[in-house]
């Protein structure tokens, strides 16, 4: 038993070494990634539930790592937050998106609206509002082309502060979405205080609407409540025709998910903007 214990300890230790080594590789890597331009933005369409038309896009960050390949945000965002590098990454994403929106306009594709995910750290950041309006101005892009997605949990951590910042952003003409809605603890009265335009129903509910009566009821209730507050309702993570039918049946406004498109690189999304989705 003793020998086995030692063995277990060794295995555990090696796993820790691996984790901390990977962590160190990633941390120095993030710094260099900004300098070497290794971050990429993939875009996922949001689709009008009744017409199937692309209404806007969501920008989703990727890291084209030289050794590890294309990494999803789950592999590096929390580390970027711990190290403070999220501020530089966040600014890069905003500027990159504004630049891309400008390019689409120059290609004759009109005013494309793109949603950018904001970390809770960014919401607390000094002069976030100034940084965003500067990015828009430098690219010559109208604020109506930018949407910001903030998670319900982040907003509820400091509601008074969030109310003030979100109001300033909305006054600029930027749209505000509450992301992952249904997973936190917002009350109706809070929602009314926030200057928000959109609720995004979290995919954990959406993906169970066909199987789980409670999740179906929650989804239905979010749609009804959002509508009564005059908010746009978007369902994320839609993968099946059945989920789509359920959401259409309850008059959800917009749909996002693999059923229509995965997040795709800029060339591919440009083609989608030009020709629509292959439905
Ligand atoms: P999120 O904002 O909730 O984004 C939705 C996630 O669900 C994305 O994962 C997207 O690729 C994925 N998804 C979309 N459709 C489907 C579907 O039909 N089925 C399933 N199973 N998944 C779907 P991704 O791209 O890995 O991003 C994960 C999270 O990373 C995002 O969650 C967001 O919180 C964060 N993130 C992404 N880009 C940024 C960024 O630029 N800045 C910050 N701070 N966070 C970001
Ligand atoms: Ca989001
Ligand atoms: Ca979400
Ligand atoms: Ca999420």
What pLDDT is attached to residue 145? 98
Mutate to test the pocket of ligand 1, among 40, 62, 73, 180 (most ligand atoms within 8 A of CB): 73
Q: Nearest ligand to the C-alpha of residue 116?
A: 1
Residues of the chain scoring pLDDT < 70: 1-18
What pLDDT is attached to residue 186? 76
What pLDDT is attached to residue 12? 52
Ligand 1: does its nearest atom lie under 6 Å from the Cβ of 119?
Answer: yes
Ligand 1: does its nearest atom lie under 6 Å from the Cβ of 182?
Answer: no
What pLDDT is attached to residue 190? 77
pLDDT digits (tens, 9 = 90+) for 205-251: 999 999 999 999 999 999 999 999 999 999 999 999 999 999 999 99
CA distance 104 to 181: 30
Ligand 1: does its nearest atom lie under 6 Å from the Cβ of 161?
Answer: no
Closest CA to 60 of 40, 86, 42: 42
Residue 75 DSSP one-character state? G
What pLDDT is attached to residue 157? 86
What pLDDT is attached to residue 15? 60
Ligand 1: does its nearest atom lie under 6 Å from the Cβ of 60?
Answer: yes
Query: What ligand 1 atom has the least distance to the C-alpha of 180?
Result: 3
Q: Which two tokens stand for residue 277?
A: 């989705």
């Amino acid at each position: 038993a003793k020998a086995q214990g030692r063995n277990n300890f060794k295995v555990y230790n090696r796993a820790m070494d691996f984790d901390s080594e990977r962590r160190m590789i990633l941390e120095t890597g993030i710094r260099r990634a900004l300098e070497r331009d290794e971050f990429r933005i993939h875009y996922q369409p949001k689709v009008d539930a009744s017409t199937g038309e692309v209404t806007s896009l969501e920008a989703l960050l990727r890291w084209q790592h030289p050794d590890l390949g294309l990494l999803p945000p789950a592999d590096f965002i929390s580390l970027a937050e711990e190290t403070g590098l999220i501020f530089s990454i966040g600014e890069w994403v905003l500027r990159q998106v504004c630049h891309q929106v400008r390019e689409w306009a120059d290609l004759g594709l009109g005013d494309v609206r793109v949603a950018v995910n904001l970390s809770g750290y960014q919401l607390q950041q000094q002069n976030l509002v100034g940084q965003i309006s500067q990015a828009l101005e430098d690219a010559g892009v109208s604020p109506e082309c930018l949407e910001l997605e903030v998670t319900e949990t982040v907003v509820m951590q400091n509601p008074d502060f969030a109310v003030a910042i979100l109001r300033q952003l909305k006054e600029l003409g930027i749209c505000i979405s509450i992301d992952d809605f249904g997973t936190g603890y917002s009350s109706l009265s809070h929602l009314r205080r926030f200057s928000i335009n959109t609720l995004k129903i979290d995919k954990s509910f959406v993906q169970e609407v066909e199987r789980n009566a409670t999740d179906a009821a929650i989804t239905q209730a979010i749609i009804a409540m959002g509508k009564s507050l005059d908010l746009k309702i978007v369902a994320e993570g839609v993968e099946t025709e059945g989920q789509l039918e359920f959401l259409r049946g309850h008059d959800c406004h917009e749909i996002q998910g693999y059923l229509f498109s995965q997040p795709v690189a800029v060339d591919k999304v440009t083609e989608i903007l030009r020709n629509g989705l292959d439905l």
